[in-house]
Chains A and B, each alone.
Chain A
Amino acid sequence: MVRVAIWGSLRAATGGRAEVEVEANNLRELLDRLAEAYPGIRPQIDRGISVSIDGLVYNDSWFTPIRPDSEVVLLPRIVGG
């Protein structure tokens, strides 16, 4: 199981929990399992999401591996100017 930190305004979709656990070996599985377990997160995933895995930010690389002890944090889609 991977522990995933949820930012404040997404916590309404996780029953107020700041951290949830899902079974996932990579980024795609992580997002799929999150959307299945917490359908309220789906609109944000559709709007765009970035995921910090052990301090590095990933956007779309589905097959980025995630270890069970990885620090995983959801973030809004990171862009720039």
Chain B
Amino acid sequence: MALDDKPELEVRVFKIVGSRPIRPDGIDKVTGRARFGADMSAPGMLVGLVLRSPHAHARIRGIDTAKAEALPGVKAVVTSADFGEVSDDLRDILHNVMAHDKALYDGHAVAAVAASSASVAKRALALIEVDYEVLPHVTDVDEAMKLDAPVLHEGRSDETVPAGMSANIMHRFEYGHGDVEAGFAAADEVLERSFKTAATHQGYIEPHACLASMGPDGQADLWCCTQGHYMVRNTCAGLLGLDASQLKVTASEIGGGFGGKTTVFLEPVALALARKAGRPVKMVMSRDEVFRATGPTSSTSIDIKIGMKRDGTITAGWADLRYQGGAFQSSPVQFGAMACFAAYDLANVQAIGWDVVANRPKAAAYRAPGAPMGTYAVESVVDELCEKLGLDRLEVRLKNASRDGTKAAYGPRFGRIGLTATLEAAKAHPHYTAPLGPNQGRGVACGFWFNFGGDTCVSMSINNDGTVSLSEGNPDIGGSRAAMTMMAAEELGIPYERVRTTIADTSALGQNEVTDGSRVTFAVGLATIKAAREAITIMCGRAAKIWGIDEDAVFWEDGHAKPAGPNAGKFPPMSLAEIAAVASNTGGPIAGHHEVNAEGAGVSFATHLVDAEVDPETGAVKILRYTVFQDAGKAVHPAYVEGQFQGGAVQGIGWALNEEYIYGPDGRLQNPGFLDYRIPVASDLPMIDTVIIEVPNPGHPYGVRGVGETSIVPPLAAVANAVSAAAGVRLTELPMSPPKVLEAIDAAGD
């Protein structure tokens, strides 16, 4: 992808981009008109339910479904036997969706039924007889790496894992450059610490839900709540042996995803049931199922060693990161290892990552997957070194910060980046120097995410009445309809209200990557701008025809075609509406479209400041003040950008303070519900303040960078640094729940 033809992004004056218009989906969402995954029905619809393993690890010797199938009202029962052979790249997905020869975690699906009602389906589940041979299990990452640990899969370690290690280690990653030992030798202070973080769930409010139907001719339709309906189509087609063209997937509105809806769970099962029953099947997960069987992120164990000179120069950084990704290879440890030192310009750095399986649900992506945990550990050690050497935490970060041209710890040299701008903004902000009270502490941390582009298609129709219909293929999670509408209106030079953006189904556009990697505002925005430019070219051509002049003698400005100068002739400008009104007379309907594998996503950095207060008697932590400083490249709709910043900070606060998957000695999840798995609510939090930094990404026509993920990277560390300062003792394990904080305070006092 070439850079835009208008490189002076800093001086471009936008008319619509950067404003805060009303959200196009707002009224539907506040009035209840918006349709989510569970809101669709079909005539003759059946209810689908899943039978799940009560064991963390068990061989399935047999499944007898005869009694369930004989129950009146039951129309279909499926097990793994109802899915055929699949390609290697889909095998783990299939075996996660429906257990094959072993149940690998508490909650693993082993069978499913479709029945005339939920009560019949529940009774049918109870009639399915599964013959389990219970096996030893392991849920802790360090335990899973031991040679005597129960093995989930034999022979799955790849060529990067040294011989003689546990079969639960799937892959080893290593990044870095320089000589870390020489770097440590040059340091005045070397600090090595170990950290652990608990698995956390994305915590989206809307459970997974879908409605599937399939005719006897093999034509199928699927309505579902997902971050990527093209991914759902391709995956389900592969799992069920369908042609992609025969399966039309429509994305519902989505009540949160955060990475957790970038794969399939119910969808292929619902299709298999619908195929077998010959009737539509609707499936909706309970919250218990969401926790037990959909992707949380990894729990981790991390060792960090950093050397620093008295003046604050970091001489070397080393990390060993161990992430368990649940029952199938899926931990994001590679991104943890790549991202953990990204904020620092280091001559000597090495990060090693171990991808490990354990008897937990298969990990799914969670906002900047893998980065928050590694960054938490690195930023904690940097903070402690600053404390030991009596150095200012922001000054040390500025001194060592990655800048334009820095060779990143994971390999490439950075292009234009905004890390120092976020640090300078934090330093100048009144928050940084505000006084603190007793038992209060202030934390600072930086974070980074790569961002991403990928396959993208949009189609834009210029309607005869001068309005514009835009179709894109990415579910709107963070305001993409508003952002696309704004970029289309900006480029076309027409009011925001004259454009409506729709999320098209999979039959309407070419392939679109999942809404992930903070890609949509960047990639779909880029395609929208290019589609608008194509439509503009056509409209200029129509005006040229009407005026009888050369197409090259017409240009587009403020929503009008205009003659390029006196030599082109003297014609009054023609508006988009005027050109659209005579489209049939000048050549036919006018449209623009753009299909691209969008490359050139710009990385994003953030700096977070947080004040926390610790109750020394109970260990309870209260967040008093929080400010996010993040580079957005160009904030298209600043309110949505601020929302992304705030949401990332809040999820990070929950991860740092309360959220954790708690397993009993039997390997079963003890807290599969929001009462016992405590996410922050509004009353737990102060208003999250935000400062948008705009260092344009040269890879996007308007300078846009993804903003959806970076904001969750710093808060684990920022909160840990604040709590450690407030408690007077370094906390090295997340979540910092009251018992752990109290224990640390008591231990320090002994």
Contacts and interface: CB of A to CB of B under 8 A. Distances in A.
Interface stretch (B112-120, B244-252, B408-416, B661-669): B408-416
Given A78-B452, A81-B369, A55 B412 contact: yes
A5 interface: yes
Contact of A80 (B160, B175, B516): B516
Interface in B231-290: 258-260, 262
A2 interface: no
Contact of B365 (A8, A18, A71, A80): A80
A56 B173 contact: no
A65 B223 CA distance: 40
B206 to A, nearest CB: 16
A58 to B, nearest CB: 5
Most buried by A among B202, B334, B451, B709: B334
Interface in A39-70: 40, 43, 47, 52, 54-61, 64
B159 interface: yes
Interface in B325-375: 334-335, 338, 350, 352, 364-369
B412 A7 contact: no
Interface stretch (B7-15, B464-472, B555-563, B595-603): B595-603
Interface in B134-177: 158-160, 172-177
A73 B411 contact: yes
A55 B413 contact: yes
B369 A79 contact: yes
Nearest to B161: A9
A80 B518 contact: yes
B367 A8 contact: no
Interface in B660-683: none
A7 B176 CA distance: 7
Contacts of B202: 81
A80 B368 contact: yes
Interface in A1-32: 5, 7-12, 18
Given A59-B599, A61-B597, A76 B413 contact: no
Contacts of B709: 80-81
A71 B258 contact: no
Contacts of A61: 1, 597, 599
A32 B596 CA distance: 23
B601 A57 contact: yes
Contact of A56 (B410, B519, B599): B599
A75 interface: yes
B160 A12 contact: yes
Contacts, number: 105
Nearest to B334: A76
Contact of B412 (A9, A11, A40, A71): A71
A81 B366 contact: yes
B36 interface: no
A7 B452 contact: no
Nearest to A27: B599
A8 B368 CA distance: 22
Contacts of B338: 75-76
B475 interface: no
Interface string B692-712: 000000010000001001000
B454 interface: yes
Interface residues of B, number: 49
B158 A80 contact: no
B479 interface: no
Contacts of A5: 411-412
A80 B449 contact: yes
Nearest to A79: B517
A15 to B, nearest CB: 15
A18 B709 CA distance: 30
B454 A59 contact: yes
B450 interface: yes
A58 B352 CA distance: 23
A52 B334 contact: no
Given A57-B601, A80-B709, A71 B517 contact: no
A11 B1 CA distance: 30
A80 B600 contact: no
Contacts of A71: 412-413
Given A7-B411, A64-B599, A75-B411, A81 B368 contact: yes
A61 B706 CA distance: 20
Given A56-B600, A78-B450, A9 B410 contact: no
Given A7-B410, A7-B411, A55-B412, A80 B159 contact: no
A80 B369 contact: yes
A59 B175 CA distance: 19
Contacts of A75: 338, 410-412
A59 B456 CA distance: 13
A9 B160 contact: yes
Specify which of A10, A43, A57 lies most central, judged by the most chain B CB atoms within 10 Å of its CB.
A57
Contacts of A54: 413, 415
B194 to A, nearest CB: 21
B516 A79 contact: yes
Nearest to A74: B411
A74 B259 CA distance: 25
A2 B449 CA distance: 27
Contacts of A8: 173-176, 350, 352
Interface in B512-543: 516-519
B121 to A, nearest CB: 32
A40 to B, nearest CB: 7
B174 A9 contact: yes
B159 A57 contact: no
B604 to A, nearest CB: 11
A61 B699 CA distance: 15
A57 B365 contact: no
A53 B596 CA distance: 18
A60 B450 CA distance: 16
Given A9-B174, A56-B415, A56-B699, 16 more contacts: A7-B175, A9-B173, A12-B159, A56-B600, A58-B599, A59-B454, A60-B597, A71-B412, A73-B412, A75-B338, A75-B412, A78-B517, A80-B450, A80-B517, A80-B518, A81-B709
Interface of B: 1, 158-160, 172-177, 202, 258-260, 262, 334-335, 338, 350, 352, 364-369, 410-415, 449-454, 516-519, 597, 599-601, 699, 706, 709
Closest 8 CB pairs of A and B: A81-B259, A80-B517, A8-B174, A81-B365, A52-B412, A73-B411, A55-B415, A9-B174
